Amino acid sequence: MTRTVLVTGAAGFIGSNFCHYWHKHFPKDLLICLDKLTYAGNLANLAALLEKPQFLFVKGDINDGHLIQKLFDEHDPELVFHFAAESHVDRSIENPGVFLQTNVNGTGVLLENGLRAWQKDFSNRRFIHVSTDEVYGSLGPADPPFDEQTPYAPNSPYAASKAAADHLVRAYNRTYGLPCITTNSSN
């Protein structure tokens, strides 16, 4: 079985490593790799994949609704791995608006297009939202680790924007049945 996989934030550290992993384990799948190539994205991270026939790089912004709609309409991805995000707490303190635009609105654009494209048949479709453990707040040295039952307690504009995106993803799942998974990774 071959699939079409849309990966946002594909040229970033985590997204690019994911693309290499996916191509190694599922070489027949078409990887559509979207990245805005800002401070966090580097096309060199994907250099080994750029010439592969099952790899398509698209420079673009997840806030560009026309581009996202075009990608869904032309390629009909079964899976979306959403890594794209503004990151780094210090940057969010200096310019929170950019974080709201990308992390909240951009996630909304992706969800809307996934819902529109998939609403007739959700089978074999998944929207995987890659978030952060920072939505849960901060841990002291003696604190127990976070888990799925930990209440949200974001402490920065970055964490709050990711928490808002997590809540949007959950709402699209609960309200519309959009098949979503959220991961709250830790570094």
Active-site residue set: 133-134, 158
Can you tell me the distance from the alpha carbon of 129 to that of 7, in angstroms, rounded to the nearest whole number? Answer: 10
Phi, psi angle pair for 168, to nearest 5°: -60, -45
Can you tell me the distance from the alpha carbon of 57 to that of 5, in angstroms, rounded to the nearest whole number? Answer: 12
Residue with tokens 């200096």: 94
- The strands making up 55-59's β-sheet, listed across from edge to edge, are 55-59, 30-35, 4-8, 79-82, 126-132, 180-185
Can you tell me the distance from the alpha carbon of 85 to that of 99, in angstroms, rounded to the nearest whole number? Answer: 8
E strands in the chain:
4-8, 30-35, 55-59, 79-82, 126-132, 180-185
Can you tell me the distance from the alpha carbon of 123 to that of 6, in angstroms, rounded to the nearest whole number? Answer: 17
Q: Per-residue DSSP letters for 52-82?
A: -TTEEEEE--TT-HHHHHHHHHHH--SEEEE
